[in-house]
Amino acid sequence: MKKSSAITLVTGIVSVVFVSCNNTKKGNGTDLTTLYEIDYSHPDQANTISTIVDSVEFIPLHGSIENPISGIDELQVTDQGIYILDRRRNKLHAYSKDGNQLFTLHSMGHAQQEYLEIACIAVTDSSVFIVDNFGKKINEYGSDNGMFKRSYNAPIVIGAIRPLDNGGFILAELPMEGVNQIENSDGNRLYIADSSFRIKHSIYPYDNHRDKIGMGRFLSDNDSVIIYSSTGYNGFSKISAKDGNFIGNVSVNTARPFNNIEIAEMDKSKARDYVVEKRWQFLTTTPMMAGKYICLSVKDEDTAEPCIYDEKSGKLYFNDNISMHNNMIAPDDAYGNSFYIVYNFGGEFLDGQLDMGFNRPPLVADSIIRNDGAVLLRYRMKID
């Protein structure tokens, strides 16, 4: 679990509602209680994100020009550093907190210390764990130097993984139509494992066996909370990072909510077309939490612009349509009181944003961006 000293798309298919957010319901020994509701049905977009952003910082990722990052499939910012999964090239890029390159893992192969793919990652104080679903294993490497430590058998096909404070892990199953899961899979969504990845128990059964619509991220975490969601849930769940116990659910109400019943008997392709036709509004990825702020991306027509929910005030904040100053690009991670995104969009894209008032990067960061490298954007949020 990430601890702060200070303050796309996954190809598997995840999604069907796990429990109604309007009731308290017991499932697999867990009380699933609604904590609160976020009303997105008729949002007031007068509140702008720029008013709650304290600063936007550009952290140069040194070495990213020579060793380019082609895709950002997962970002984890921790006390140990910055870890970026590039699934397209099967690489893990690791940087120090100030952007100096620590190591790059690219150990493709069948040997014990190698892997056939990187499905997802987890970072602890001393180790980074790489999930290889093709190889049915989890490899552990040093988080400071990338040195191989040991390998574990993967108990299920894993779509996301996060460490728990008690030394164990929480695993989100990667549901795939037509693919046989590993024998430890029992039809549930989340699995609690010990430090050696032995399954202790599981929670949240699937509806309709397997899900149809993809989600970009299954789990997010920050400080004491892990967040889980799936497309069609119309909300998300808060989980204790201490031991994996559930805290409760948060409902996200939209004007045209996702309806799993209508697509239950459709194949995946037809279900996707139907969702577009119905113009349903729903979370496209699991929300992220930075302090009291929760970043949501809600599918609305053809866009999924980020918005910020303030848990204390109950207000929703949106990007300014006039000026891009302090406007938020959908973040890749949250850590402490900040949201983070890997910015590797190139000089032409940057110029377009600068013309609309976006924050100007310092010279070093600007040069890296224009030479097809990457920088890390830190959105430091205001604190009461």
Q: Which residues lie closer than 8 Å to 53 by C-beta, 6 or more apart?
A: 326, 328, 379, 380, 381, 382
- pTM above threshold 0.95: no
Residue 184 and residue 327: Cα distance in Å, rounded?
A: 44
Q: What structural domains and CATH numbers belong to the chain? A: 25-381 (2.120.10.30)
Counted residue by residue, the chain has a size of 384
Q: What share of the chain is helix, strand, coil (3-state, %, to 5)?
A: 10, 40, 50
**How confident is the model at residue 13, as a pLDDT?**
30
- Tokens 């990430």, residue located: 2
Contact 218, 10 (CB under 8 A): yes
Residue 305 and residue 273: Cα distance in Å, rounded?
A: 21
Residue 187 and residue 206: Cα distance in Å, rounded?
A: 6
**How confident is the model at residue 207, as a pLDDT?**
59
Compute, in degrees rounded to 10, the torsion defined by CA atoms 282, 164, 78, 229: 0
**How confident is the model at residue 109, as a pLDDT?**
85
**How confident is the model at residue 7, as a pLDDT?**
33
Per-residue pLDDT of the chain (384 residues; tens, 9 = 90+): 675 543 333 333 333 333 333 333 334 444 568 899 999 988 888 899 999 999 999 999 999 999 999 899 999 999 999 999 999 999 999 999 999 999 999 988 888 889 999 999 999 999 999 999 999 999 999 999 999 999 999 999 999 999 999 999 999 988 765 555 556 677 788 999 999 999 999 888 765 545 667 677 889 998 899 999 987 788 999 999 999 998 999 999 999 998 888 888 888 889 889 988 999 998 989 999 999 999 999 988 777 889 999 999 999 999 998 899 999 999 999 999 999 999 999 999 999 999 999 999 999 999 999 999 999 999 999 997
10 Å CB burial of residue 219 (0-12, 13-18, 19+) is buried
Written as six digits, the tokens of 62 are 């040194």
